[in-house]
Structure 1
Amino acid sequence: MKFADLSSATDYLASLTRHGVHPELDSISKVLSELGSPQDKFPAIQITGTNGKGSTCVILDLIYRRAGLRAGLFTSPHLLDVRERIRIDGTLVETDVFLEAMQSVCLAQEKTGVSLTFFETLTAVSFLVFSLSRIDLAVLEVGMGGRWDATSLCVPEVSVLTSLAKDHTEILGDTLELILQEKAAIGRSGKPFVGTIPPEVLPEWERQRSLRGFRPLLRGQDFDGKWEGETEAGERAFSFSGQALSGTYRSSLTAEYQLHNLLTALATVSVAPWPVSQETVRGALLHLFHSGRWEPVPGFSAFLDGAHNPEAAEHLVRQIQAVRQENGKVAFLSGFLREKDWRSMAHIFTEAGDHFFLTVPPGTNGVEPLTIASYLREQRPGIDCRTGSFKEICQSAFNWVAGEPDRLLVVTGSLYLVAGVQKWLSGDDSPLHAGERTSASPPS
């Protein structure tokens, strides 16, 4: 199969979403073998977790690039351009390189007689691009779980579990113990595994450690830290204590929930086989940016945040409560995917807001806005809910916050919604740069 341009490749990938998720690695193993096993040609850090994976990946990627290493970054999902998922030295993979890799992966499928899913295809493409680009290391974000995730065909030097909560329960299981079993499967014998484990599942974590032989490094036992003061000039200080790199730092990621991701990243660097100086780390942390994660909207008292499960919603509400003005009004511009626990998220959001602008995330079969409004009114009689088409509700929400310094608008509930609002605000399809703060990327 030959792709004429990025649009045709994107259309092909979209057609693969009907394949869903397959809990097996045989198909992609055959394709990678046909491609010459590109995943074996570079070392990697593999990161799983219910929340915080993407931010932790972005932090690690920038630290290692600032240390002079040629880093590959594979994350998901993308917001505006599928190439956002594959970056080399902080830059989107070039279109011609991406298309050539796509064609090679499709040819390998034809030769082996197998069909890959959307995520498997992009994982194979990333492995091939990274191997051809001769990177020094890859930072890989797990798509879901770990045991059957396509990224698990690499052998990581360090494994990371950012957080553990209930999400994708229809696939990973409906208890924390079952979910942990899936995520802990990325651990490798004799290699460090950085994690944060809820106390109630520590016995299962110990069982997994004994079974898999990884070397655990846990927050609260082996590393920890805290914020040191409030945000000033777009930066916030925090302290870190661990096996190495202990000290005080400043970060351009300032949201309450980003502390955990910063600590997890520093703990990972402290045990990874690529030495990085404390000064290099300090310099990198001042230039972080992660699109769609407590991202300020220039000219408005508004933020974009891709929280899309109850745990992330709780973290977001704590951030809102930390920054909202006394007696200030908070509104949510929200939409949810049907397969998510949207009722729990909507209920959590009512703890921080009295006004809701509701729509369907673009390009999805999302929950009907009137259904969400009905549920919210059951929870909070008299709550202000407005519904409408995507463009209408965006205009209404930003009109509500425009020129009102005591008001705060938060766009959240789905990364598809965040991407749609980004596109609506910019008026074009240009993706925002992720990973490093630039003139086009406002600080968090």
Structure 2
Amino acid sequence: MNFGLERIHNLLEALNRPDERTQIVHVAGTNGKGSVCAYIASVLRTCGYSVGRFNSPHLLEPRDSINVNGQAVSQQLYEEAFSHVSMLNKTGAIGASSFECLVGAAFYVFDKAKLDFVVLEVGLGGLLDATNAIRNPAMTVITAIGMDHAHILGRTLEEIATAKAGIMKPGCPVVIAPQDTKTLLDTLIEHAKGTGSPYQLVQPSQFITPELCKLDFDQVHYTYPIRLCGDYQRMNSATAVTALDWLYRLKLIEMTPEQLAKGMQETRWPGRLEWITSKDNPKILSRYGLERILIDGAHNPPATIALRNYIDSLQRNSVIWIIASTAGKDIHGLMTKLIRPNDTVYAVTFTQPSGMSWIQSTEPSEIAKEASVAKTVACLGLEEALKTAASVCGEHDLVVLCGSLYLVADLYRILL
């Protein structure tokens, strides 16, 4: 990958800087940034604003990355945008990468829609990511940071944090989520001070019930329901609420606690601690014999630990895993954190994602080798793994599909 911002700057200039005709909330981090983006966008829509959202990688197809008012853009508009951006890229001899063209296409769509806000998720890192070509965001947000893409971003958490903090801009408020270590938090705070970015530290919300949170500020108290699972949603939801409350106090938005609660409740973020049940999708029972399955895109150490903690809270006898992973990921670390001796692992591959030739699936035999503490089987495909998992699943067992959002996407496709 050839990192740098010159090409994307040139591309945005060719588009007449569409990023400067809307207010942008820019979100970086290792884990939680997708759900934080989803929360913020949902609440802003509830407050009556028109909102674009950019997330990557895409889930089912490339156009999924570009969302306008809660809906992925149509294939026709996506092709129009990408064709226009590709033409500018070619005629201007810009040499932009496919991801840079995707970012350009997103801003072409957002500009055409004349949106009030864009919630923009960083693709990789922060400082040199194509999304960081924006010059005047309304706010930046840093979510939880962990070890991921170390070969690109840095070999230590502090180096990775510095790369993520690269989205901070002078005078632009930054919301900093809770971090696992004081050193990480200090790194982000020092970067904010050095950049001249006013910052606010997030306090985790409290669960009143498993689906109801509360978060108190000096002058306002928020109580809001959420449907996303996992204890880490105390941090993710609080990060979004803190950002929204600050936007309100800066008079950039109008918002009531009731609007916030409604927007938080309506937030969906597929593939993260998501239950698919036979009630909601009868195909998993009729085709594969499964009553329900837990799916999660966990693919790095912090997300893997969060998944294991959630599963432990369910107190099941054993777990039947269906796992795929992107080549280059730490399979040993993934298996060490997830797998217990009485578990079963069905290792599979995922479908090559469209437009992402650099992404490759790990061989199932390699996954099976690293999961040797449990019973392991290298499967020919996802459908075989699903049927086999159902055949051995007892009443008190749990079937979990995880390891990559590309595998989650494969499951969605066969259940459509």
Question: Which SS does the other structure have where 1:302 is aligned?
Answer: strand
Matched, 1:103 2:86: no
AA in 2 matched with 1:414: S
* Cα deviation digits, residues 127-150 of structure 1 (max 9, x gap): 111011100000000001111111
| Structure 2 match to 1:317 | 308
Structure-1 separation of matches of 2:23 and 2:407: 34
Match of 1:215 among 195, 198, 216: 198
Task: Tell me the TM-score normalized by structure 2.
Answer: 0.90
Matched, 1:412 2:402: yes
| Structure 1 match to 2:413 | 423
Structure-1 separation of matches of 2:209 and 2:184: 32
AA in 1 matched with 2:387: Q
* Contact preservation (8 Å) 1:334, 1:412: yes
* Contact preservation (8 Å) 1:317, 1:352: no
| Structure 2 match to 1:237 | 212
| Structure 2 match to 1:433 | none
| Structure 1 match to 2:384 | 392
* Contact preservation (8 Å) 1:61, 1:73: yes
Aligned CA distance change for structure 1 residues 171 and 371 (closer, same or farther; 3 Å): same
Residue correspondence of structure 1 range 226-265 to structure 2 within 5 A: 226-230=206-210, 236-242=211-217, 245-265=220-240
* Contact preservation (8 Å) 1:73, 1:87: yes
Residue correspondence of structure 1 range 4-19 to structure 2 within 5 A: none
Structure-1 separation of matches of 2:342 and 2:173: 41
* Cα deviation digits, residues 162-204 of structure 1 (max 9, x gap): 1111111111111112111111111122221111343023442
Match of 1:183 among 164, 167, 174: 164
* Contact preservation (8 Å) 1:359, 1:368: yes
AA in 2 matched with 1:269: L
Structure-1 separation of matches of 2:395 and 2:266: 27
AA in 2 matched with 1:35: L
* Contact preservation (8 Å) 1:361, 1:417: yes
Q: Indicate the larger mover: 242-251 or 99-108.
A: 242-251
Match of 1:337 among 302, 326, 334: 326
| Structure 2 match to 1:283 | 262
Structure-2 separation of matches of 1:343 and 1:79: 25
Q: Which runs of 5+ in 2 are unaligned?
A: 279-290, 353-358
Task: Tell me the TM-score normalized by structure 1.
Answer: 0.84
Aligned CA distance change for structure 1 residues 108 and 352 (closer, same or farther; 3 Å): farther
* Contact preservation (8 Å) 1:317, 1:351: no
Question: Which SS does the other structure have where 2:174 is aligned?
Answer: strand
Aligned CA distance change for structure 1 residues 206 and 59 (closer, same or farther; 3 Å): closer
* Cα deviation digits, residues 407-438 of structure 1 (max 9, x gap): 21110001111111221233xxxxxxxxxxxx
Q: Indicate the larger mover: 67-76 or 361-370.
A: 361-370
| Structure 2 match to 1:121 | 101
Structure-2 separation of matches of 1:324 and 1:372: 25
Matched, 1:78 2:70: no
| Structure 2 match to 1:139 | 119
* Cα deviation digits, residues 344-370 of structure 1 (max 9, x gap): 111111149611111112226322222
Structure-1 separation of matches of 2:4 and 2:196: 23
Structure-2 separation of matches of 1:409 and 1:100: 41
| Structure 1 match to 2:284 | none
In the TM superposition, residue 224 of structure 1 has moved relative to its aligned partner by 3.0
Q: Indicate the larger mover: 348-357 or 411-420.
A: 348-357
Structure-1 separation of matches of 2:51 and 2:333: 38
Aligned CA distance change for structure 1 residues 360 and 68 (closer, same or farther; 3 Å): same
| Structure 2 match to 1:356 | 345
Aligned CA distance change for structure 1 residues 315 and 244 (closer, same or farther; 3 Å): farther
Match of 2:27 among 6, 30, 47: 47
AA in 2 matched with 1:421: L
Runs of 4+ in structure 1 deviating by more than 6 angstroms, as ranges, are none
Match of 1:30 among 10, 14, 17: 10
AA in 2 matched with 1:91: Q
| Structure 2 match to 1:16 | none
| Structure 2 match to 1:374 | 369
Matched, 1:93 2:83: no
Q: Percent identity?
A: 28
Match of 1:63 among 34, 43, 57: 43
Structure-2 separation of matches of 1:407 and 1:182: 41
Q: Indicate the larger mover: 241-250 or 146-155.
A: 241-250
Structure-2 separation of matches of 1:337 and 1:311: 16
**CA RMSD, aligned part only?**
1.7
Q: Which runs of 5+ in 1 are unaligned?
A: 1-20, 231-235, 427-444
Question: Which SS does the other structure have where 1:260 is aligned?
Answer: helix
Structure-2 separation of matches of 1:257 and 1:106: 39
